[in-house]
Structure 1
Amino acid sequence: MSQPDWDLLGAALKGRKALVLGIANEHSIAYGCARVFRRLGADLAITYLNEKARPHVEPLAQELGASIFVPCDVSREGELEAVFARIGKEWGGLDIALHSIAFAPKDDLQGRLVDSSAEGFKVAMDISCHSFIRMAKLAEPLMTGGGTLMAMSYHGADKVVPNYNLMGPVKAALESAVRYLAYELGHRDIRVHAVSPGPLKTRAASGLKDFDVLLSEATQRAPIGELVDIDDVGLTTAFLATPFARRLTGMTVYVDGGLSIMA
């Protein structure tokens, strides 16, 4: 896969303040986005889940020169709020906030939707969807000059993908939330998008049953004939955060080599 011409892209995000939630390791989609944001000139705030995750994320934050590095488990009361309090104190504003967080209990994720537990569904919805709404609420007062909010979705939100199970309805709710937030925040020049990558080898995806089969089929069926990588997703999110996309909002943007157009 050819690499982007960084000299041509220049410093499209120079001086922008970008928060990235959800980096787990160097294979994370969120890391690919943060890496492109930084390459294009943005200042970064990066979060890590907990002390167990910190050793995997801290070297990446240091590599990217993140000026803010803080813990954030959205399921723990007050942690997301503390992230935004720190940003408000140190930066005084925010231009970009990217949410790349999803979770469902293993039994609910790997079992049939019809067998999912009420508690498992609640947890998946809270962490994977409602935390994005909470993020938007906290970001709004900091985006005084407008901004861009983005969440990570998947094709299983719109079509049935075997073995995606519980996460299909959860991601569908997330995409709907994106549209409503775009409507509610548009008057403040805050644009909101869902980004829907094709199958990627991430830690989160490894929890899906028969994921290797899904990857193989995606490579064969995608018109481009290749899987996308985390930098491809990063470049798309960076575009959405620039003035080049100033009239786009409320969209689900597919980054999948054309896979989603195939029957």
Structure 2
Amino acid sequence: MPDPDRLPPVLTGKKALVVGVANDRSIAWGCAAAMRKAGAEIAMTYLNERAKPHVEPLAKQLDVPIFLPMEVRDGAQVDAVFEAIAQRWGRLDILVHAIAFAPKEALQGRVVDCPRDGFLTAMDVSCWSLLDLARRAEPLMKDGGTVLTMSYLGANEVVENYGIMGPVKAALESAVRYVATELGPKGIRVHAVSPGPLATRAASGIRDFDELMERVSSRAPARRLVTIEEVGAACVFLACDYAAAMTGETLYIDGGYHILA
């Protein structure tokens, strides 16, 4: 397991916006902490006032200079975050989009029975928001940059109880390829990261998730689950110059589980 305290300073001087930290078990938190240890300065958002007490202590740990609310469906809040980045930093090097949401009635049950409103909400929050944030980040990535989003194996395989999020994540991975192609000439690289199952707040809405984690840990070639620290370390690599020739990828960080039939 990588030790975030020993990550090389490959992101020194970089400015990163991390969206999606809910608590200290969030994948987004693993990314933010690893990038800070690798030398980046971090801007962080929180969903709402209810979430703020869980996120603010984490922001203080990383000496975050920009800490603002952002519900991605609230254009004014999104505007405020990018205006703050433009005013304080004048640029952005890394965007981490680690948010996903589907109403319970859309997530549970058959995909074919998913209500229209639930599907549109899941697509809006989990997929379209990446396009919106990438569009806003583009003019700030003056010397190139990296955009990272979080996917899951259910985008490409039918995962029991993952429901409508499977098609939504498939759309997200396709969006990554298109955005990578469109922004590549400006030196902006775009990737999806696909971690194995983790006990995050978002995963709590998936039925029988504990059984899924047990199955993965027993079958994966690595014979264990991954950690948010390992996901964060991989994102540090993708955001640094060592990965300069990579873009448009979906990088699996799942102990090899995705290679199994």
TM-score tier, shorter chain, comes to over 0.9
- Paired AA for residue 30 in structure 2: G
- Paired AA for residue 170 in structure 2: A
Q: TM-score, normalised by structure 2?
A: 0.98
Secondary structure in 1 matching 2:75: coil
> 2: distance between equivalents of 1:194 and 1:5?
21
Aligned to 1:173: 171
Matches within 5 A, 1:119-198: 119-198=117-196
- Matched residue pairs, number? 261
> 2: distance between equivalents of 1:215 and 1:5?
24
Alignment deviations for residues 88-136 of structure 1 (CA, whole Å, 9 cap, x no partner): 0110000000000000011110121011011110000000000000000
Q: Which runs of 5+ in 2 are unaligned?
A: none
Q: Which runs of 5+ in 1 are unaligned?
A: none
Secondary structure in 2 matching 1:78: helix
Aligned to 1:223: 221
- Paired AA for residue 132 in structure 2: R
Aligned to 2:198: 200
Percent identity, aligned pairs only, is: 56
Matched, 1:65 2:78: no
Give the superposition deviation at 1:6. 4.5
Aligned to 1:232: 230
RMSD across aligned C-alpha pairs, in angstroms? 0.9
> 2: distance between equivalents of 1:142 and 1:255?
29
Aligned to 1:97: 95
Instruction: Indicate which of 48, 51, 62 corresponds to 2:46.
Output: 48
Show structure 1 runs of 4+ deviating over 4 A.
none
> 2: distance between equivalents of 1:42 and 1:74?
23
Alignment deviations for residues 43-101 of structure 1 (CA, whole Å, 9 cap, x no partner): 00000000110000000000111111000001223211221111001100000000000
- Paired AA for residue 160 in structure 1: V
> 2: distance between equivalents of 1:209 and 1:6?
35
- Paired AA for residue 119 in structure 1: D
CA contact (8 A) 2:43 2:64 kept: yes
